[in-house]
């Protein structure tokens, strides 16, 4: 778990609330991202968060074989330029996977990468873009894309075996629920207790966990209204707030 925070990060700039002033390291939340490390397989980064460099250093992330993108909001893609370092170390372009809308947005937002100028200074990320149109495989890892909605914006979650990662969403459409049958370990968006127009609340995410019958669930994209220890004490068994640096083993 590279980052478990909302788009502003926690602590938020200029905020003196109890969570932002907390000395509990679990209350320090970088922008949302995970890395999947398959045993004797590829290292797959999900999103290039604004905090990618800091996350990579904190977690000693020395290799990235592929990148999956959920969508192109700033907190999920603005660390893209830091991928250059992996190009330098690995001496290869890195394949990136996203839906058609996300690919179009990436090309527009990072035109200097995909339509490079004649003078490129210190270099630009070397990437290839592959459109996700259905289940696909990276090395030994089979990945099922899950259509979600982030308000009215279509985004992607991802399922790998009995694990699913569903960040930045407030609705799972009917056609996506069958793709989640059998998920036992879940990371899902849960911004705060109060309802929000584009993110699940704690109560809504608990409903998702119950419907899926997941045995382990971790809430992510957490804002500064949720103190880690106090919130976890109120959550049911098998459910907790994720935190930066959390490692989850999945069979």
Mean pLDDT confidence for 79-108: 98
Q: What is the pLDDT of residues 8-42, one digit of tens each?
A: 999 999 999 999 999 999 999 999 999 999 998 89
Q: What percent of the chain has pLDDT over 70?
A: 98
Q: Which are the contacts of 161, defined by CB distance < 8 A and separation ≥ 6? A: 142, 250, 251
Q: What is the pLDDT of residues 130-187, one digit of tens each?
A: 999 999 999 999 999 999 999 999 999 999 999 999 999 999 999 999 999 999 999 9
Which pLDDT does position 121 carry in this prediction?
Answer: 67
Q: 118 pLDDT band (50/70/90 cuts)?
A: confident
pTM of the model: 0.97
DSSP bridge pairs for 69 = none
Which pLDDT does position 40 carry in this prediction?
Answer: 87
85, containing H or E segment? helix 84-90
Q: Distance of CA 71 to CAs 24, 144, 147, Å?
A: 30, 16, 11
209, containing H or E segment? helix 202-212
Minimal CA–CA distance to 124: which of 134, 136, 112?
A: 112
């Amino acid at each position: 778990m590279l980052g478990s925070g909302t788009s502003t990060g926690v602590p938020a700039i200029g905020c003196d609330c109890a969570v932002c002033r907390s000395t509990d390291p679990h209350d320090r939340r970088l922008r949302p991202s995970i890395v999947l490390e398959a045993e004797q397989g590829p290292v797959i980064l999900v999103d290039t968060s604004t905090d990618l460099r800091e996350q990579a250093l904190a977690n000693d992330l020395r290799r990235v074989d592929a990148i999956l993108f959920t969508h192109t909001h700033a907190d999920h893609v603005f660390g893209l330029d830091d991928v250059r370092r992996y190009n330098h170390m690995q001496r290869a372009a890195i394949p990136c996977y996203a839906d058609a809308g996300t690919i179009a947005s990436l090309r527009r937002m990072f035109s200097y990468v995909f339509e490079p100028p004649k003078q490129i200074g210190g270099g630009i990320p070397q990437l290839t873009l592959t459109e996700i149109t259905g289940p696909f495989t990276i090395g030994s890892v089979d990945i099922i894309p899950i259509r979600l909605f982030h308000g009215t914006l279509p985004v992607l979650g991802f399922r790998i075996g009995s694990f699913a990662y569903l960040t930045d969403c407030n609705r799972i459409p009917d056609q996506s629920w069958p793709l989640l049958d059998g998920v036992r370990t879940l990371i899902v968006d849960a911004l705060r207790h109060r309802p929000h127009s584009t993110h699940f609340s704690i109560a809504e995410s608990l409903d998702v966990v119950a419907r899926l019958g997941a045995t382990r669930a971790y809430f992510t994209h957490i804002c500064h209204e949720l103190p880690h220890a106090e919130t976890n004490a109120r959550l049911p068994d098998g459910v907790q707030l994720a935190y930066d640096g959390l490692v989850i083993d999945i069979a």
